[in-house]
Amino acid sequence: MERLRQDDPVRIGDFVVLARLDADGSRGVPERRYLARSADGGRTVLVCLPPAGGDPARWATEAQQAVRLVQPGFWPVAQVGGSPAFPWYSSPYRPVLPLPAVLAAYGGPLPEALVRTVGGTLAEALASAHVLGVVHGGVCPAGVLLTACGPLLGCFGATRATAVAGDAPVPATVLETGCLAPELAAGGPADRAGDVYALGAVLAYAATGQTVPERQEIPVGLREIVTACRSRDPEGRPEPARVLAELLPGAAYGALTASVEPVSLPGRVVEALSRQSAEVLAAALPSPER
């Protein structure tokens, strides 16, 4: 858990803020994310606000769309509230680390086996969304949330393909993290190929600590699929189902995102998840006056 700053909210809707999820100086965070508890102490949640300087109305619209994105592999949005100027959404709390925090806890780039598990699970989630005509539009390292049972894609940025056929803006988070496909940078709409490009950036980040590494910096076993995902030609990028097959040959489609079994995580990452859980359980509700 990260300490609150003076400019952080004390309450969000019915919830009292306990701590921030993201550390100071975290880049590319798609929204302001807080660990919070209901005033009666009965519910602990992850509650999110628009990013500072973002468009609250646009963010609120995407949060409403994310409520309907209920298939496995996505971080669930359970409640949307607030006002047009101060929208928020909440999700039931579970111990979770954004991908940059995972690398920080581990002490550097992740082992290739874990990168394959994370990438394969995210590819499966995107494949299931794309079948439904849903484009995520905001895949980035900070939007990947790792739990004991594997990664989930944060829903912020999720837009229906039919809604982005025109000139819908690309979420600002991808502009800062090297996840923006060239055609989107040129003004094109968010689409499935753009999601795959961003997935390649997430794989690169997990394996090297950078979203735009040099080709030789990428582990040999991941080099071809990461390079294919990050092709400048959208037509040259693989479909998410192929990314899954390349990363985890023989994996049964649908088994990863639906799994409720713990995945194999490095001890330091497990320790960080356990420490967060213990701190949340022990946290007392702060005074409303700070």
Angstrom distance (rounded) from CA 12 to CA 34: 9
Specify whether 101 is located in the same domain as 240. Answer: yes
Partners of 48 in the beta sheet?
A: 33, 89
Specify whether 276 is located in the same domain as 259. Answer: no
Structural domain contains residue 66:
yes
Residue 67 has what pLDDT?
A: 85
Q: What is the CATH number of the domain that holds 19?
A: 3.30.200.20
Structural domain contains residue 258:
yes
Specify whether 119 is located in the same domain as 88. Answer: no
Specify whether 172 is located in the same domain as 85. Answer: no
Structural domain contains residue 1:
no
Based on the structure, what is the number of domains in the chain? Answer: 2
Residue 20 has what pLDDT?
A: 95
Specify whether 39 is located in the same domain as 159. Answer: no
Residue 25 has what pLDDT?
A: 80
Specify whether 57 is located in the same domain as 142. Answer: no
Environment class of 276 (CB within 10 Å of its CB; exposed 0-12, middle 13-18, buried 19+) = buried
Specify whether 217 is located in the same domain as 104. Answer: yes
Structural domain contains residue 4:
no
Residue 171 has what pLDDT?
A: 53
Residue 177 has what pLDDT?
A: 65
Q: Which residue type sits at 173?
A: T
134 Cβ contact partners less than 8 Å away, ≥ 6 residues apart: 69, 158, 159, 160, 161
Specify whether 43 is located in the same domain as 27. Answer: yes
- Residue 32's SS3 state is strand
59 Cβ contact partners less than 8 Å away, ≥ 6 residues apart: 31, 50, 51, 87, 156
Structural domain contains residue 288:
no
Structural domain contains residue 52:
yes
For strand 44-49 and strand 32-38, is the pairing parallel, antiparallel, or unpaired?
Answer: antiparallel
Specify whether 255 is located in the same domain as 154. Answer: yes
Tokens of 158: 């999720």
Whether 66 contacts 155, CB under 8 Å = yes
pLDDT string in tens for the chain (290-residue length): 899 998 899 999 999 999 999 998 888 888 999 999 998 889 999 999 998 888 888 888 888 888 888 888 999 999 999 998 999 999 999 999 999 999 999 999 999 999 999 999 999 999 999 998 888 888 999 999 999 999 999 976 655 433 343 445 555 555 556 898 999 888 888 899 999 999 999 999 999 999 999 999 999 999 999 999 999 999 999 999 999 999 999 988 888 988 888 999 999 999 999 999 999 999 877 665 54
Whether 227 contacts 236, CB under 8 Å = no
Q: Provide the residue range defining the domain that includes 275.
A: 11-94+269-282
pTM: 0.91
Tokens of 141: 């390292």
- Residue 41 has what DSSP assignment? S
Q: What is the CATH number of the domain that holds 119?
A: 1.10.510.10
Q: ∠ at Cα 146 (143, 149), nearest 5°? A: 140
Specify whether 66 is located in the same domain as 101. Answer: no
Specify whether 166 is located in the same domain as 196. Answer: yes
Q: How many residues does this entry show for the chain?
A: 290
H/E stretch holding 257 reads: helix 255-258
Residue 138 has what pLDDT?
A: 87
Specify whether 114 is located in the same domain as 257. Answer: yes
Residue 290 has what pLDDT?
A: 47
Environment class of 34 (CB within 10 Å of its CB; exposed 0-12, middle 13-18, buried 19+) = buried
